[in-house]
């Protein structure tokens, strides 16, 4: 039981390593998240604000990983052979963009 659980964790950490090494946007988002958390610590935010920030950061980083996975999947299944391939990639990227815009609004409301 613990072996299969450990194997699952190894796969997940390998995925994090892959996205960190291959996706510039993910690295930028990690740096921004770190800066936001430093600012939250410096401002001594209340626990509710911390929770909102952490959930928002987790959402953005998770969506970026899903976006990267979808892009790779589309490249395998329909590499430039179908009109929807580009559209699927654009829609996945739009998801991250939309969540990032709302994360910016959330951050502005908390810090300002």
- Catalytic residues, which ones? 64
DSSP 23: -
The string of DSSP codes covering 70-82 is HHHHHHHH-TTTS
Is 67 exposed, middle or buried, given 0-12, 13-18 or 19+ CB atoms closer than 10 A? buried
Extract the tokens encoding 107.
Answer: 């951050």
Extract the tokens encoding 77.
Answer: 């299944």
| Residue 73: closest CA among 89, 94, 97 | 89
DSSP 82: S
């Amino acid at each position: 039981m613990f072996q299969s659980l450990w194997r699952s964790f190894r796969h997940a950490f390998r995925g994090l390593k892959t996205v960190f090494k291959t996706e510039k946007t993910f690295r930028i988002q990690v740096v921004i998240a770190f800066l936001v958390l430093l600012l939250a610590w410096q401002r001594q935010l209340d626990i509710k604000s911390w929770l909102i920030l952490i959930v928002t950061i987790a959402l953005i980083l998770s969506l970026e990983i899903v976006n990267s996975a979808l892009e790779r999947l589309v490249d395998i299944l329909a590499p430039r052979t179908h009109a929807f391939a580009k559209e699927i990639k654009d829609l996945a990227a739009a998801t991250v963009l939309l969540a990032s815009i709302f994360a910016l609004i959330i951050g502005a409301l908390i810090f300002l």
